[in-house]
Amino acid sequence: MHFSSDNWAGAHPRIAESLTRHAAGFEPAYGGGDLDAAVTRRFCEIFEREVAVFFVGTGTAANALSLTLHARPGGIAFCHRGAHIMEDECGAPEYLSGGGRLRAVDGPFGKFSADALERSVARFFPQIVHDGRACAISITQATEAGTVYSLDEIEGISAVAGKFALPLHMDGARFANALVSLDTTPAEMTWKRGVDMVSFGGTKNGCWCAEAIVLFDTSKADELAFIRKRAAQLFSKSRFIAAQFDAYFADDLWLETARHANATAAALADVLRTAPLTRLAWEPQANEVFGIMRRDTMDRALAAGARFYEWHVPADFAEPIAPDEVLCRFVTSFATSRGEIDTFARLVGN
């Protein structure tokens, strides 16, 4: 019953096999090899256009360096209050961007609306040095609340970004989970809706460590090359990240693993919705599920070996929650089995 996080899982066998297959032989270091080039072309096909691709080691690096690319003196990047860059990266975005600031935008279920964003951005005037100035907007897709921005919502947000001439970044640590949830294409979910750059995550969906910054404006690639190297994120044996992505995309493995994770999340949501001792906090749309239960129920489940986290109740949480209740987060992955969910179901009275 491993629901702590999708990064508690290991690597998918086909990812592991690819790493082994590409272990032998010599290749130019620092991304100069054939495999890196081939995988970059694969990214272009997947996104149906020319893109610049920069492999990095962690999602935090992908996010922080994307924002660093657009950092400006006094710059403020807007994100949801619960965004990973705000809550879970130890200030990496501020640090790596040379002192930039993040500003929280509120909204229920891990998403903010275009209107809320516009109100938040509009109070900064481009010429008033005291306040600082807007420099970027970041959304997470799928969100940290397990929800997914619709294509229309993304378009609405990018319209605000465009109005203020701001780049729109998408933290796609769970890009594949959102993609299959919306049943759309990478192009439709990103640049066709005005997204400028993506932190494209493979790690949570079956890779070991395969993250990439994808730029739709390739004129910024030269700059990002220096940004990445300066941040110690240029891997000498870059081919091994390429090898992971190579297997990730082959035969649509990435969509298969994401569908599996989403499906097991839906099954877990069913359990939480219907079990006598739990209820569902809100409807999941990807591979993170939030449930509410009594603290003693949670303690019992943990004692029985279930692994999941109590969660901070977000500020704009709409559900009434009793004093003895807790909000809990469950995450599924490519490696989650139906058996684990059945076992958990029995634990909570189903």
Q: Which of residues 79-138 bind a second copy (CB under 8 A)?
A: 87-92, 94-102, 123, 127, 129-133
Bridge partner list, 138: 169
Neighbours of 70 (CB within 10 A): 22
Q: Is 164 in the site for a second copy (CB under 8 A)?
A: no
At 296, which helix (H) or strand (E)? helix 295-303
User: Total residues contacting a second copy (rule CB under 8 A)?
Assistant: 84
Q: Is 7 in the site for a second copy (CB under 8 A)?
A: yes
Q: Minimum distance between the CB of residue 67 and a second copy, rounded to whole angstroms?
A: 12
Contact partners, residue 334, CB within 8 Å, separation at least 6? 9, 12, 205, 206, 257, 258, 260, 261
In the bound state with a second copy, the residue whose beta carbon lies nearer, of 158 and 332, is 332
Q: How far is CA 346 from CA 57, 67, 260, 340, in A?
A: 39, 45, 21, 10
In three-state secondary structure terms, 250 is helix
Q: Minimum distance between the CB of residue 271 and a second copy, rounded to whole angstroms?
A: 19
The footprint of a second copy on residues 19-48 (CB under 8 A) is 19-20, 22-30
Separation of alpha carbons 264 and 107, rounded Å: 27
Q: Is 72 in the site for a second copy (CB under 8 A)?
A: yes
The footprint of a second copy on residues 206-225 (CB under 8 A) is 208-209, 222-223, 225
Residue of 232, 252, 254, 93 lying closest to 169 (CA atoms):
93
In the bound state with a second copy, the residue whose beta carbon lies nearer, of 173 and 195, is 173
Q: How far is CA 193 from CA 60, 119, 138, 158, 165, in A?
A: 24, 21, 14, 7, 15
In the bound state with a second copy, the residue whose beta carbon lies nearer, of 120 and 158, is 120
In the bound state with a second copy, the residue whose beta carbon lies nearer, of 3 and 47, is 3
Q: Binder to a second copy among 120, 190, 205, 233 (CB under 8 A)? A: 233
In the bound state with a second copy, the residue whose beta carbon lies nearer, of 41 and 226, is 226
Q: Binder to a second copy among 231, 255, 302, 321 (CB under 8 A)? A: 231
In the bound state with a second copy, the residue whose beta carbon lies nearer, of 52 and 182, is 52
Long-range pairs, 188-191, Cβ under 8 A, ≥24: 188/151, 189/141, 189/151, 189/154, 190/47, 190/214, 190/216, 191/47, 191/49, 191/216
Q: Minimum distance between the CB of residue 331 and a second copy, rounded to whole angstroms?
A: 11
Residue at 260: amino acid letter: H
Q: Binder to a second copy among 37, 50, 73, 250 (CB under 8 A)? A: 73
Binding mask 252-291 for a second copy (x = CB under 8 A): ----------------------------------------
- Quick one: tokens of 278? 């739990």
Q: Is 203 in the site for a second copy (CB under 8 A)?
A: yes
In the bound state with a second copy, the residue whose beta carbon lies nearer, of 234 and 267, is 234
